[in-house]
Amino acid sequence: MLKRLAVALTVTTALLASAVAKAETLRFGHANAPGEVLNDLFNEFAEKVKERSGGELEIQVFPSEQLGKEVDLIQQVKFGALDISAPSMPAMAGLVPALEMASTPFLWTDWAEAEQVLRGPAFEPLWDELRDQHNIVPLTKISYWGWRNFTFTDREVRKPEDMAGLKIRVPESPIWVEMIRAFGAAPTPIPFGEVYTALQQKTVDGQENPIPTIYSRKYYEVQGVLTLDRHMLQNNTVLISKITWDRLSEEHQKILREEAEAISKKNSELQQGRERDMLEEIRKSGRTKIIEDVDIEAFKAAMEPVYPQLAERWGQENWQRLQDAIAEIRKQ
């Protein structure tokens, strides 16, 4: 009887342990809102992970900064309070300043060039630093969100001098502050979720974002001018806390990485098509005048004195490695 009881207890314990193992739930907080393609893809990511893991991994998705602002979510991931998030690379500059280099104004020729460099060895030491010093592991390092452009309440901006005296909303990241100052305007940090209201109430005179954000967040409804200067390329990531990562099985790690890469690739393809369509919808709305004859060279010239200051913060070695990688691609 005692032997049977011992066996029964062992089996029961094993079953309970198995049940606990199958109850692994990961929390995924991000800034994208319903209606944006990335929000839909993050939900698809959660479904695919659950399906492939046989229900052993479940992901609860919290959009629209429900769990905190973008920079707060990164800190939560670092300390294991949040499992997964999907910030832009510059948002991580508070941890690894050189990750901000990906958003250097007027750096990239096109998306293909950026993708090749960001996936290559030039950025590898930065991802290693993020993992080793800040407990954050990238599930995917690159996902296209779009070229960033300016919108203004009513001023037609074609060159930096046209921005003189304007208050421009910027994200909480140093590179934006330096860029706006270089163009002669006043950088005004405002949380992402409060931008529409700030534009509507004229707390600021303008903002800058990719076309999909300008469209989905309806900024064009309260901004009379859209200047297509394509000053930055925004790249998003999907990150997981190393504290979470280390407790997962290799199989579960593989599933998360593969599914994150799958949605990132899908997003990059979808978003580029949507970017064109959304710009056309903004044009058709008649609410916003689209400025296309922009003096890009004048904007680049205004940025030239700023690059050495930025490189100082990023580390000269990191900046040179990036420049060398870009030069090598352009020789091909």
Q: Which two tokens stand for residue 54?
A: 């046989």
User: Is the confidence at residue 15, as pLDDT, over 70?
Assistant: no
- HEC profile of 124-143: HHHHHHHHHHHCEEEEEEEE
User: Is the confidence at residue 16, as pLDDT, over 80?
Assistant: no
225-241/136-152 β-pairing = antiparallel
Q: Model confidence at 19, in pLDDT bands (50, 70, 90)?
A: very low
Q: Model confidence at 20, in pLDDT bands (50, 70, 90)?
A: very low
Residue 1 within a domain = no
Count CB atoms within 10 A of the CB of residue 272. 14
CATH code at 248? 3.40.190.170
CA distances in angstroms from 42 to 48, 67, 85, 237, listed in the order given? 10, 15, 10, 12
Residue 210 within a domain = yes
Give the closest residue to 263 by CA, choosing from 60, 83, 48.
Answer: 48
CB 231 within 8 A of CB 299: yes
Q: What is the mean pLDDT of residues 284-298?
A: 97
Residue 10 within a domain = no
Per-residue pLDDT tens digits for 233-268: 999 999 999 999 999 999 999 999 999 999 999 999
Q: Looking at residue 102, what DSSP letter applies? A: G
Q: Based on the structure, what is the number of domains in the chain?
A: 1
Global pTM reads 0.87
User: Is the confidence at residue 102, as pLDDT, over 80?
Assistant: yes
Q: Which two tokens stand for residue 128?
A: 């290693």
Per-residue pLDDT tens digits for 58-86: 999 999 999 999 999 999 999 999 999 99
pLDDT on residue 7:
47
Residues of the domain holding 31: 19-331
Residue 3 within a domain = no
Residues 323 and 332: their CA atoms lie apart, in Å, by 15
Give the closest residue to 300 by CA, choosing from 172, 100, 108.
Answer: 108
